[in-house]
Structure formats: C-alpha cells, structure tokens
Structure 1
Amino acid sequence: MPIDRKDWAQRFPEFLVEAETLLAKSEECLSHLQLISNDKDAIDCMLGTLLKLAGRAEALALEAISEFSLHIYSLLNLQQDHVDLHEQALDALRDCLTLMAWQLELVDPKTGQLTLDKSEQTDLLEAFAAQMGQTSFEPKMVSKRLLSSSFTARQA
C-alpha cells in the first residue's frame, strides 16, 4: 500500500529522531565491542537495533536505509555463532554505521527521496563481509516476511 505523502511528512521527523537514537545505541554497542570483543549481549543489542531501524525505515518506504540496515544485520547474524569482531571488522562496521547516519541526513524531508549511488553502500558492505571472513558479499534480498517475523520476535 502506498504511503500517503501527508502522513509520511508527519511521521518522518519522528522517524529521524528514533533513527538517530537507534544509531547512537548501535554506536554504544560498537564501543562496548571494542572493549570486550565478541560480547554476545552487545552483538544481540546491535542486531536488535539494526532490525528495528530496518523495520521503521521500511514502514516509511525508505528502502535504501532499510536494505542497508538489513544487509549489515545479515552479515552479523550469519556470523553470530562464530563471530570474530576484531579491530578491522569493528572499523568496517563503524564505517557502515557512519554512512547510514550520513544518508539519513540526506533524505529529502518533503519527498522522502534519497538520491544516492549504492556503490558506496556496496563497497562498505563488501569490506565488512571480508573482515567477517566472507569470501564475497552478495546482497540478498531480505524478504519483508523475514523482516516482520524477526522484528516481532525481537520485540517479544
């Protein structure tokens, strides 16, 4: 169902505040991981914030933000049992979060458009995947069903 522009314009400022809060929480998780490498609670926190951000972005049809968040989530979640978040992996993850924060600032508040070349997202995701021990990164389309079921499960 398409989003009503008037409704979107009213909901967007609230989304921005929540997105900034979620990114700040992700940064806290990242800082914790720099102190205590591979801490399961910090990783779970990061996964939860990424998934929540993706869900909120998806609800406003901000696909670039939602997909980017889900790709980062997927890389962390695939490796959760065998995580090796060494310094270079954490730096690559920080670069992804920094780009996402920057992209949020570039969303047109009137139209919701985010004009960007996805190559920077792809480059950062490939760098993060390589640091996570993945031989290649292939952006998978994470289904909306997966997003909603994972989001619901994490909220419980």
Structure 2
Amino acid sequence: MPIDRKDWAQRFPEFLVEAEALLAKTEECLSHLQLISNDKDAIDCLLATLLKLANRAEMLALVAISEFCQHLHSVIDSARVRIDLHQQALDALKDCLTLMAWQLELVDQQTGQLDLEESEQTALIEAFAFQIGQGTVQPALTSKRLPRLAFSERQA
C-alpha cells in the first residue's frame, strides 16, 4: 500500500530522529568491537539495530536506505560464525555506517527521494566483505522482504 504524501511528511521527521538514534547505537557497537574484537553481544546488537533501521526505512518506502541496511546485515550475518573484525574490517564497516548517515541527511524531506549512485554503497559493502573474509558479495536484496516487526517493536 503506497504511503500517503501527507502522512509521509508527518512521519519522516520522527523517522529521522529514530534513525539517528539507531545509527548512534551502531556506532556504540562499533566502538565496543574496537575494544573487544568479535564480541558476540556487540555483533548481535549491531545486527538487530541494522535490521530495525531497515524495517523503519522500508515502512517509509526509503528503499535505498532499507536495502543498504539489509545488505550490510546480510554480509555480517552470513559471516558471523567465522567473522574476523580486525581494524581494517572495522574501518570498512565504519565507512558503510558513515555513508548511511550521509544518505539519511540527503533524503528530500518533501518527496522522500534519495538521488544517489548505488556504486558507492556497493563498493563499500564489497570492501567490508573482503575485509571479513568473504570473497564475493551477494547482489542487492531488492526482492527480499524484511520480517515484519510486531506492533510493540515498532513502538520501541
């Protein structure tokens, strides 16, 4: 069901506040991983936060941001058992999170459009995947739907 423009304009500022908080949480996870490399709790927190951000972005039809979060989540999740988050990998992850923050700032607040060259997202995700030992990266997850959050999770 398409989002009504008026409803979208009312919900977008709330989304931005929540997205900034979620990105701050990913930064906390990253900082924790810089102190304790490969900490399972920090990785799980990072994964949950990326998924939550992807869901929130999808609810507002912010496809580029939702897919970027999903793709990053997928790369981390698929390598979780044998992931090696050495400094170069953490730097590559930070680059991904920085781009995501920039993209949130560039969303047109009236239309919801985000004009971007997807090659930068792809290059950063590939660089991160390479750093954690994944030789190839799956294509963007455009056809994969996110698991729906329960109403109580949406309000959290």
Q: Distance in 1 between matches of 2:16 and 2:133?
A: 33
Aligned residue number for residue 19 of structure 2: 19
Q: Distance in 1 between matches of 2:64 and 2:139?
A: 12
Q: For 1:148, what is the secondary structure of its paired residue?
A: coil
Q: Distance in 2 between matches of 1:92 and 1:122?
A: 12
Aligned residue number for residue 55 of structure 1: 55
Q: Distance in 2 between matches of 1:86 and 1:139?
A: 25
Letter in 2 for 1:148: P
* Structure 1 residues 7-156: aligned runs within 5 Å: 7-141=7-141, 143-144=144-145, 147-148=146-147, 151=149
Deviation at 1:71, TM superposition (A): 0.6
Report the count of equivalent residues.
Answer: 150
Q: Distance in 2 between matches of 1:78 and 1:113?
A: 30
Q: Is the 8 A contact 2:83 2:133 kept in 1?
A: no
Q: Distance in 2 between matches of 1:138 and 1:148?
A: 19
**1:20-54, Cα deviation, whole Å (9 max, x unpaired):** 00000000000000000000000000000000000
Letter in 2 for 1:18: E
Q: Distance in 1 between matches of 2:66 and 2:139?
A: 13
- Percent same amino acid at aligned positions? 70
Unaligned runs of 5+ in 1: none
**1:75-111, Cα deviation, whole Å (9 max, x unpaired):** 1100111111111110000000000000000000000
Q: Distance in 1 between matches of 2:49 and 2:119?
A: 24
Q: How large is the RMSD of aligned CA atoms in angstroms?
A: 1.2
The structure 1 segments of at least 4 consecutive aligned residues displaced by more than 4 Å after TM superposition are none
Unaligned runs of 5+ in 2: none
